[in-house]
Amino acid sequence: MKLKDIGEFGFIKKVTRGCLIRPQHVVKAVGDDAAAFVSRPGEVILLTTDLLVERIHFLRHATSGYNLGYKSLAVNLSDIAAMGGTAREAFISIAIPETCEVEYLEDLYEGVKSLAAEFEVNILGGDTTASKTDLIINIAVVGSAPENEILCRDTARPGDIVYSSGFLGDSKAGLHLILNHIPADSEAFRELLKAHLQPKPYLREGRFLARQKGVHAAIDVSDGLSSDLGHIAEQSRVGMRLYAENIPISHNLKQFCEQFNFDAPAYALSGGEDYTLAFTVSRDSAETIEKDYLNEFNMLIYRIGEITDSGRMELVCPDGQVKIVTSSGWDHFRK
Residues 230-269 that bind a copy of itself (CB under 8 A): 235
Q: Which is nearer to a copy of itself, 94 or 173 (CB)?
A: 94
- Long-range interactions of 260-266: CB distance < 8 A, separation 24+: 260/176, 264/169, 265/318
Q: Which is nearer to a copy of itself, 13 or 283 (CB)?
A: 13
The one-letter amino acid code at 292 reads: D
Site for a copy of itself in 182-221 (CB under 8 A): 218-220
**Do 101 and 2 form a contact (C-beta atoms < 8 A)?**
yes
Q: Coil, strand or helix: which one is 221?
A: coil
Q: From CA 304, how far away is CA 254, in angstroms rounded?
A: 17
How many alpha carbons lie under 13 Å from residue 4 in its C-beta half-sphere?
3
Among the residue ranges 59-67, 147-155, 171-179, 189-197, the one whose residues contact a copy of itself (CB under 8 A):
147-155
Using CB under 8 A, pick the residue from 31, 62, 103, 296 that binds a copy of itself.
31
Burial degree of 234 (CB within 10 A; 0-12, 13-18, 19+): middle
Site for a copy of itself in 36-55 (CB under 8 A): 36-39, 41, 43-51, 53-55
DSSP state of 169: S
The CB-of-80 to a copy of itself minimum distance in angstroms stands at 6
Among the residue ranges 4-12, 159-167, 169-177, 245-253, the one whose residues contact a copy of itself (CB under 8 A):
4-12
Site for a copy of itself in 302-331 (CB under 8 A): 331
Site for a copy of itself in 58-97 (CB under 8 A): 79-80, 82-83, 85, 89, 91, 93-96
Burial degree of 246 (CB within 10 A; 0-12, 13-18, 19+): middle
Question: By CB under 8 A, is residue 108 in contact with a copy of itself?
Answer: no
